[in-house]
Amino acid sequence: MIGGIIGDIVGSIYEDGNMKSKDFPLWGEGCHFTDDTVLTVATADCILKGGRFEDYYYSYTSQFPSCGYGTNFMKWYFTRKFRNQFVPYQSFGNGSAMRVGPVGWGYERMTDVLDKSRDSAICTHNHEEGVRGAQAIATCVFLARKNESKGHIKRFVEEKFSYNLDCSLEDGQKNHKWNATSMQTVPQAITAFLESDNYEDCVRNAIAIGGDSDTLACMAGSIAEAYYGVPSELREKAYTYLPEKIIEVIEKFEFRFGK
Ligand SMILES: [Mg+2]
């Protein structure tokens, strides 16, 4: 889970000032955790304690307000707060894929990973693209931590989810306008991983694409963590940006489900 969170923190300052290059300070001035981190930790906490994903997304948003949540997500939040109703909003944004990483760690069978990633998505992202994006990222995390090769992961995702993973990172950089849809950003995040040499290189690849940097790096970083592991100095640095409550859940989750 820390792999996605580092991506979010590192990418946070490049969303509005896109880098389009891999040469940038990893911990740039003003970088911070955003909604990607909060909702990823909410997913992990739900897997640890049981219950419904939507209750955790609501509760974590209450505890950590002002973290850059999307407009529609905030409408969802206030509908729950003032009308006591959860109303999914047919989203095909990448919000369901950015928070799903822990699902790839929390279950031992592919069918469970697919079912639970669907559950985690549909409470907000009940559009089929929102579900597909979440399932694809969780599947990549699952296969990577099971030591499957990049070639296997690529073929599996292409066959199961019909994403085109043949466009290179360079193509993505050239063509990328700011876009936060699942169908565009999920395959790009997976490509950032497939073309990487190590964990940090993957995060740099994702940010070099441009666009929705924190979420691209969060999704790609989640997969890279499962495949390469995360260097301890990066983890320690990330902790300096995080509140105690979030670190506690990360440690509990990784203790129970880590490699
Ligand atoms: Mg964000």
Determine the distance separating the centroid of ligand 1 and the alpha carbon of 127, expressed in angstroms. 20
- Whether residue 152 is contained in a domain is answered as yes
Residue 66 located in a structural domain: yes
Q: Does 26 map to a domain? A: no
Place of tokens 């095909």: 92
What is the 182 CA–ligand 1 centroid distance (Å)? 14
Enumerate long-range contacts of 250-259, CB under 8 Å, 24 or more apart: 250/1, 250/2, 250/5, 250/41, 250/44, 252/48, 253/1, 253/44, 253/45, 253/47, 253/48, 253/102, 253/105, 253/106, 254/1, 254/2, 256/48, 257/47, 257/102, 257/105, 257/106, 258/105, 259/145, 259/229
In the reported structure, the alpha carbon of residue 162 is separated from the centroid of ligand 1 by a whole-number distance in angstroms of 26
Let me know if residue 157 belongs to a domain. yes
pTM for this model (two decimals):
0.96
**Residue 85 maps to a domain:** yes
**Residues 72/89, Cβ–Cβ less than 8 Å:** yes
Any domain includes 134: yes
Q: How far apart are alpha carbons 214 and 48 in whole angstroms? A: 25
Domain hosting 67: range is: 2-21+33-257
Residue 22: phi, psi to the nearest 5?
-95, 0
Tell me if 117 is assigned to some domain.
Answer: yes
- With respect to residue 28, please indicate whether it lies within any of the assigned structural domains: no
| Ligand 1 centroid, distance to 215 Cα (angstroms) | 6
Instruction: Put residue 50 in one of left, alpha, beta given phi > 0 → left and psi -120 to 50 → alpha.
Output: left
Residue 86 CA to ligand 1 center (angstroms) comes to 22
| CATH code of the domain covering residue 162 | 1.10.4080.10
The one-letter amino acid at 72: N
CA 40 to centroid of ligand 1, rounded, Å: 11
Instruction: Give 14 Cα–ligand 1 centroid separation in angstroms.
Output: 11
The tally of domains found in the chain comes to: 1
CA of 68 to the centre of ligand 1 (A): 6
Supply 141's token pair.
């995390």
**Which residues 6+ apart lie within 8 Å of 111 measured at CB?**
none
Classify 99 as helix, strand or coil.
Answer: coil
Across the 259 residues of the chain, what is the mean pLDDT of every consecutive 10-residue run?
98 81 92 98 98 98 96 97 96 96 98 98 96 98 98 97 86 73 93 97 94 94 98 98 98 93
HSE of 93, CA atoms in CB hemisphere, 13 A = 18
